A and B are shown apart, each in its own frame.
Chain A
Amino acid sequence: MPNRDPIVMTVAQEVIRDAYAAVGRAERFDANDIYYTTQSQFGYAAAVCGVMLRERTATHFFIGHFYAEALVLAETGNATGAIQIAGTDADSQLPFFICACDYTLIGEELYAGSVYLSREPLLLGALKGQDAAKAAILAILLIGSLLSLFGVAPGRWLGAGGTP
């Protein structure tokens, strides 16, 4: 697992060590498999693409916030024929992942992924609360749009000077 941030690398080593232990394969964990590459955006992309092409990795997970390197990584991975799962909150990179990956977690699904897998009641509750908040925001947007359509400016009530 190549890393671009050394702080994340040290955390990732611990998380992956735990994951190996959890499935009873602690002896197969090698800390050298989780290593630092570079902070340079395209230097990192080049390093990861090199690993994909040389080692013919079977599965790629692109999880987190991405910039222009997203398509370089996803297209190279696609060319190797690997199964690719992406998840990002960067809306500008979502179309690239959708084109080049087998499965894509869109926006908030990225944060719901761990809850979906763990099924912990407390975390599921937080997810339900999140959905309720989204429904409330949607309702406010709809009401605001309708009021605006009929010439009522709710922003003025709040001192925002909305346009009628």
Chain B
Amino acid sequence: MKRTGPVLLGFLVGMLMLIQYFTPNRWIEARYNNVLDWKQVVFGVTLILGVLSLLLHHGRLIRRRASGWGYSWVTVAGLSVMIVAGVLRGKEHGPYPWMFEYVQSPMQATLFALLAFYVASASYRAFRARSLPAGLLLIAGVIVMLGRVPLGEMIGFHAGERFYSLATLSDWVLAVPNLAAKRGIMIGVGLGMTATAIKIILGIERTYLGKGA
């Protein structure tokens, strides 16, 4: 029963989620909404466990004076201040929205902006033309990058009445070989997701229940 129960529950809920997608039946829709409500309840409970695990983890780092333990104090202080601010004045007024807008949002934007530098360093490694595939990648990369800027629209050649610019070539690279590869991957992903879902619903794949399930 320890193994059969979860597999049976997984089958019933999985089938419900699958069937509700194809039918407008109100009873099934109501059960679907029930499942979504339960998920919110489970999420709420596990969030408490999550915050507790975060505090325990950082508490342990502070006790051990582990590498970078000062950051653990920052995490615990940030969490505590936001909880207190939210409880005392609510999410709409007081320090909570202020800290969200002027502390958290700028920090997130900063990290997002760092992506430009990460892209540059990753591209440098990828574009070193040490093999044929890397060389092709470099050529395709240069065509697409130049094709996306105004300069790329000026570089090209005339063939009769038409002007073929790097922008045209860039569009072709994105719309034909790039899209063909992407669609190939997406078909594989779609089949993989469907097969995995079916295996879990039917109880063939039970690794989520642990070893020996």
| A residues at B contact (CB < 8 Å) | 3, 6-7, 9-11, 14-15, 18-19, 21-22, 31-37, 40-43, 45-46, 50, 54-55, 68, 71-72, 74-75, 89, 91, 94-96, 98-100, 106-108, 110-112, 114, 118, 122-123, 126-127, 129-130, 133-134, 137
Residues from 161 to 213 in B contacting A, C-beta threshold 8 Å: 182, 185-189, 191-193, 195-196, 198-199, 204-205, 207-208, 210-211
User: Which of A7, A14, A107, A123 is in CB contact (< 8 Å) with B43?
Assistant: A7
Q: How many inter-chain residue pairs (CB < 8 Å) link A and B?
A: 135
Known: A3-B50, A31-B53, A71-B115. A89 touches B126 (CB 8 A): no
Assess whether A111 is in contact with B192, with CB atoms less than 8 Å apart. yes
Assess whether B207 is in contact with A114, with CB atoms less than 8 Å apart. yes
Assess whether A43 is in contact with B108, with CB atoms less than 8 Å apart. yes
The interface-forming segment of B26-34, B117-125, B152-160 is B117-125
Assess whether A35 is in contact with B53, with CB atoms less than 8 Å apart. yes
Assess whether B122 is in contact with A126, with CB atoms less than 8 Å apart. no
Assess whether A45 is in contact with B111, with CB atoms less than 8 Å apart. yes
The interface-forming segment of B17-25, B54-62, B91-99 is B54-62
Assess whether A55 is in contact with B67, with CB atoms less than 8 Å apart. yes
**How many B residues have CB within 8 A of the partner chain?**
49
> Shortest Cβ distance from B3 into chain A, in angstroms?
13
A125, B153: Cα distance in complex, Å? 51
Question: What are 29 of the A-B contact pairs (CB < 8 Å)?
Answer: A3-B50, A6-B49, A6-B50, A7-B46, A15-B208, A18-B211, A31-B53, A33-B57, A36-B49, A40-B108, A42-B108, A71-B118, A74-B122, A91-B186, A99-B122, A99-B126, A100-B125, A107-B185, A107-B186, A107-B189, A108-B188, A108-B191, A108-B192, A111-B193, A114-B207, A126-B195, A129-B195, A130-B191, A130-B192
> Shortest Cβ distance from B62 into chain A, in angstroms?
13
Assess whether A10 is in contact with B46, with CB atoms less than 8 Å apart. yes
In the complex, chain B residues whose CB is within 8 Å of the CB of A106: 185
> Shortest Cβ distance from B185 into chain A, in angstroms?
4
In the complex, chain A residues whose CB is within 8 Å of the CB of B186: 91, 107
Assess whether A36 is in contact with B54, with CB atoms less than 8 Å apart. yes
A55, B46: Cα distance in complex, Å? 27
A40, B143: Cα distance in complex, Å? 35
Assess whether A134 is in contact with B68, with CB atoms less than 8 Å apart. no
Assess whether A40 is in contact with B104, with CB atoms less than 8 Å apart. yes
In the complex, chain A residues whose CB is within 8 Å of the CB of B208: 11, 15
Assess whether A7 is in contact with B123, with CB atoms less than 8 Å apart. no
In the complex, chain B residues whose CB is within 8 Å of the CB of A35: 50, 53-54, 56-57
Assess whether A41 is in contact with B50, with CB atoms less than 8 Å apart. no
Known: A94-B185, A133-B191. A71 touches B53 (CB 8 A): no
Assess whether B187 is in contact with A15, with CB atoms less than 8 Å apart. no
In the complex, chain B residues whose CB is within 8 Å of the CB of A100: 122, 125
In the complex, chain A residues whose CB is within 8 Å of the CB of B60: 32
> Shortest Cβ distance from A2 into chain B, in angstroms?
9
Known: A71-B122, A94-B185. A36 touches B51 (CB 8 A): yes
In this complex, what residue of A is CB-closest to B79? A38
A126, B201: Cα distance in complex, Å? 13
In the complex, chain A residues whose CB is within 8 Å of the CB of B196: 111
